[in-house]
Amino acid sequence: MSPIRLQTYLAHAGVASRRAAEKLITDGRVSVNGATVSVLGTKVNADDAVLLDGIPVVTQTSFLYLLLNKPPEYICSSSDPQGRRLAKDLLPAFIEARLYNVGRLDYRSSGLVIFTNDGDFAAKISHPSSNIEKEYLVEASGHIPDTVIDDFLRGVVIEGVIYQAKKITRIGGKAIRVVLIEGKNREIRRVFSYFHLHPVVLRRIRIGNVSLDGLMEGASRPLSPEEIGGLLRRHSKS
């Protein structure tokens, strides 16, 4: 292996996406041959000893791509100081590869989350420029006025940030389906709160060409080659 950047090495090892790996490095959590590395741009060779938090990092020989139907009250994180349940612990126990979630759903939200050890794949489909649609089912505690839908489609400015849905379909007085592109952090919850609404159900039901398709809550399945290829094709068209 020719020398490659440390963040690329970590991504290939399935530790995190390249962007997340850069933060691991700058936080001083990575060492190479016994020396902590905190400067980006460092390159490593195949025979270098790379450790994350003191644990050896080994590059992956094969990649895995799993779809999880996350229940509410699970957190998308590798650990949680508050002791909340982790979504990754719902994945099959026999999988030894270190998988991490591509994007995330907040603690109270449910639905589709993709897990992988392919850092390049994760970076491509999670980057805002990918323009991959993400569709959510939202049920509120009260009636959702048409004016809220219209404003969300036009774009709502909250604390200097623009939140704008690509498409919204009403499926009931209290329920809508929302399609987002970028999907800013807690976007739907922030918009609902702005209009003094409370979503009692917020479930992601689709990312690009990948949908839950009857997958039971808490269950997972591998992504098909067609689903993986479809996500990458959508990225390449952005």
- Asked if 189 and 199 touch (Cβ cutoff 8 Å), the reply is yes
What is the per-residue pLDDT for 167? 97
Q: Which of 12, 35, 40, 47 is nearest to 24 (CA)?
A: 40
Give the model's pLDDT for residue 230: 92
Q: Classify residue 237 by burial, with Cβ atoms within 10 Å: 0-12, 13-18, 19+.
A: exposed
66 bridge partner residues = 115, 222
User: What per-residue confidence (pLDDT) applies to 61?
Assistant: 62
pLDDT, position 235: 57
SS3 state at 66: strand
**Which domains does the chain possess?**
4-56 (3.10.290.10), 65-128+210-236 (3.30.70.580), 133-207 (3.30.70.1560)
Catalytic sites, residue numbers: 106
CA distance 172 to 185: 26
Q: Is 208:224 a contact under the CB 8 Å cutoff?
A: no
CA angle, 40 as apex, 51 and 19 as ends, to 5°? 80
Instruction: Please tell me the distance from the alpha carbon of residue 112 to that of residue 19, in angstroms, as a whole number.
Output: 22
Q: What pLDDT is recorded for position 123?
A: 83
Structure tokens at 56: 């050896």
Question: At 115, is the secondary structure helix, strand, or coil?
Answer: strand
The amino acid sitting at 109 is S
The whole-number pLDDT of residue 134 equals 95
pLDDT reported for residue 178: 98
Residue in 220, 213, 13 with CA at minimum distance from that of residue 98: 13
Give the CA distances from residue 71 to residues 59, 75, 86, in Å, rounded to whole numbers and listed in that order: 31, 9, 10
**d(C-alpha 31, C-alpha 53), whole Å:** 8
Give the pLDDT of residue 116.
92
Q: Give how far the C-alpha of residue 93 lies from the chain's centroid of Cα atoms, to the nearest Å.
A: 21
Positions of the chain with pLDDT lower than 50, given as ranges:
none
Q: Return the structure tokens found at 228.
A: 């993986």
